[in-house]
Structure 1
Amino acid sequence: MRVASMVVVLVRDSAGYGAALADALRPSPGLTRGSSPFDLPLDKYGLNGEKASGELVSFSDSSGSPQVSFFVLPDYRPPVAACAMNEILALISSEAPSIQPVLIVPFITRPSGCFHGMVNATKTGQLTTLHAAEIGASNEFTHLLVDGSIKPPPSLQIRSEPIQCLLEIVRVLKIPTVLVTSGGQHQGKSSSDSDLEVLQCVGDHVAKHINLEFSKETVIETGVEKSASIQEPWRELYL
Structure 2
Amino acid sequence: MRVASRVLILVRDAAGYGAALADAFRPTPGLTREFAPLELPLDKYGLHGEKASGELVNFSDSSGSPQVSFFVLPDYKPPVAACAMNEILALISSEAPSTQPTLIVPFITRSLNYYHGMIQGAKIGQFATLHGAEIGETTEFTQMLIDGTTKPPQSLQMHSEPILCLLEMVRVLNIPTVLLVASGGNHQGKSSSDADLEVLQCVGDHLARHINLEFIKETVLGRRIEKSPVFQEPWRELYR
- Kindly indicate whether residue 177 of structure 2 is the aligned counterpart of residue 193 of structure 1: no
CA drift of 1:50 comes to: 0.7
CA drift of 1:16 comes to: 0.2
Q: Which runs of 5+ in 2 are unaligned?
A: none
TM-score (norm 1): 0.95
Query: What SS does the corresponding residue of 2:175 show, helix, strand or coil?
Result: coil
Moved over 6 A (4+): none
Q: Distance in 2 between matches of 1:209 and 1:129?
A: 18
- Kindly indicate whether residue 154 of structure 2 is the aligned counterpart of residue 154 of structure 1: yes
Do the aligned residues in 2 keep the contact of 1:119 with 1:127 (CA within 8 Å)?
Answer: no
Structure 2 equivalent of residue 44 of structure 1: 44
Do the aligned residues in 2 keep the contact of 1:12 with 1:19 (CA within 8 Å)?
Answer: yes
Per-residue CA shift, 1:6-25, capped at 9, x if unaligned?
00000000000000000001
Q: Distance in 2 between matches of 1:44 and 1:121?
A: 44
Do the aligned residues in 2 keep the contact of 1:111 with 1:194 (CA within 8 Å)?
Answer: no
Query: What SS does the corresponding residue of 2:197 show, helix, strand or coil?
Result: helix
Q: Distance in 2 between matches of 1:178 and 1:184?
A: 20
- Kindly indicate whether residue 181 of structure 2 is the aligned counterpart of residue 142 of structure 1: no
Structure 2 equivalent of residue 24 of structure 1: 24
Structure 2 equivalent of residue 94 of structure 1: 94
Do the aligned residues in 2 keep the contact of 1:109 with 1:158 (CA within 8 Å)?
Answer: no
- Kindly indicate whether residue 130 of structure 2 is the aligned counterpart of residue 120 of structure 1: no
Do the aligned residues in 2 keep the contact of 1:136 with 1:174 (CA within 8 Å)?
Answer: yes
Q: Distance in 1 between matches of 2:141 and 2:124?
A: 27
Q: CA RMSD in A?
A: 1.4
- Kindly indicate whether residue 57 of structure 2 is the aligned counterpart of residue 57 of structure 1: yes
CA drift of 1:137 comes to: 1.1
Structure 1 equivalent of residue 82 of structure 2: 82
Do the aligned residues in 1 keep the contact of 2:127 with 2:198 (CA within 8 Å)?
Answer: no
Deviates further, 150-159 or 20-29? 150-159
Q: Distance in 2 between matches of 1:83 and 1:236?
A: 25
Q: Distance in 2 between matches of 1:118 and 1:181?
A: 10
Deviates further, 177-186 or 71-80? 177-186
CA drift of 1:107 comes to: 0.9
CA drift of 1:129 comes to: 1.2
Structure 1 equivalent of residue 33 of structure 2: 33
Query: What SS does the corresponding residue of 2:108 show, helix, strand or coil?
Result: coil
Query: What SS does the corresponding residue of 1:108 show, helix, strand or coil?
Result: strand
Query: What SS does the corresponding residue of 1:154 show, helix, strand or coil?
Result: coil
Matched length: 236
AA aligned opposite 1:183: S
AA aligned opposite 2:155: S
CA drift of 1:121 comes to: 6.3
Structure 2 equivalent of residue 230 of structure 1: 231
Q: Distance in 2 between matches of 1:148 and 1:177?
A: 17
